[in-house]
Amino acid sequence: MSAQLHPIESVTQDAVPVAPPVTSAAPSQASPHIVVSGVDKIFPVPGGEVVALKDIDFTINRGEFVCLLGPSGCGKSTLLNAIAGFSHPTRGGIDVEGRTVAAPGPDRGMVFQEYALFPWMTVAQNIAFGLEIKGMSRGAIQARVAELLDMLKLAEFRDRFPKDLSGGMRQRVAIARVLALDSPVMLMDEPFGALDALTRRSLQDELLRIWAATGKTIVFVTHSIEESIYLADRIVVLTYRPGTIKRDLRVELPRPRDSASAAFNALKRDLSALVTAEQHRFEQVELKGLTTD
């Protein structure tokens, strides 16, 4: 499959405050990693159907950090779950590493919003779990777990159970668990959505550091405009039902990004207008009982 039907626009550090310049841009030496082609997802519901995704086409290159941005109900999780292989598109297909996604696989690790940890296992055991399944030797598991505990500043919490950790710490464990498997693709569904602002920023920084060090391809779902600009190489904005691609934007602001800078705020205003329009449609439909399907 091959597809990049939606033009990717580009915002650079030279952006003027009011209207960020937008140009077409393609990264050099791009190598397709995830290819989403003509994807529709329709859920049957009593008395009808919900068209959650419609005509989704885009390609994510190896090592890219892509945020899927949009209000509640626009199909972000549906799209991420389809890439993960948890559910199948009604039409179209998704290739990862040139192979059509048919089921979940070790090449795609998923971090959920709600800290999907085993409550009966300690931090270290949670991180080791996937490695044991893989059949790695005891010594190698211990070495890898120690490395990850260190990387995510969890060493002193290694013997605690999830219930005795803060939300931020639990999410660090969830990230360590996925990193343990060393999947080339990390799929993250609003992983920091429930955290306070300071913890969230510190985990965002940590994720960026890990991404830079490992070169993983990251698909990160968020409804926070600020978070998407802070993190992403590229922001894909989805429309409210049916979820289609409203805008595909390359963010070329220098890293670490300054959320107080004029260019950052110009982009924030620009994206706010797009997302707010979709949020209004969401409110009309979900809160007033109208329908767009």
Ligand X SMILES: Nc1ncnc2c1ncn2[C@@H]1O[C@H](COP(=O)(O)OP(=O)(O)OP(=O)(O)O)[C@@H](O)[C@H]1O
Closest separation in Å from C-beta 211 to Mg ion? 21
Which positions ≥6 away from 149 have C-beta within 8 Å? 123, 124, 127, 155, 158, 176
> One symbol per residue from 225 to 264: x for binding ligand X (CB under 6 A), - otherwise; what is it?
----------------x-----------------------
45 makes contact with ligand X (CB under 6 A)? yes
* Binding residues among 72-91 for Mg ion as defined by CB under 5 A: 77
* Binding residues among 208-227 for ligand X as defined by CB under 6 A: 223
Tokens of 184: 């080339």
Closest separation in Å from C-beta 172 to ligand X? 22
Q: How far apart are CA 267 and CA 189, in angstroms?
A: 23
Given a contact cutoff of 8 angstroms between Cβ atoms, the answer to whether 183 and 190 are in contact is: no
Closest separation in Å from C-beta 132 to ligand X? 32
> One symbol per residue from 4 to 43: x for binding ligand X (CB under 6 A), - otherwise; what is it?
---------------------------------------x
Q: How far apart are CA 235 and CA 268, in angstroms?
A: 12
Q: Which residues pair with 59 in a beta bridge?
A: 35
> One symbol per residue from 36 to 75: x for binding Mg ion (CB under 5 A), - otherwise; what is it?
----------------------------------------
Given a contact cutoff of 8 angstroms between Cβ atoms, the answer to whether 92 and 110 are in contact is: no
How is 114-139 classified by DSSP, letter by letter? T----TTS-HHHHHHHHHHHHT--HH
> One symbol per residue from 51 to 70: x for binding ligand X (CB under 6 A), - otherwise; what is it?
-x-----------------x
Closest separation in Å from C-beta 243 to ligand X? 6
76 makes contact with ligand X (CB under 6 A)? yes
Q: How far apart are CA 256 and CA 211, in angstroms?
A: 13
* Interacting residues with Mg ion (CB under 5 A): 77
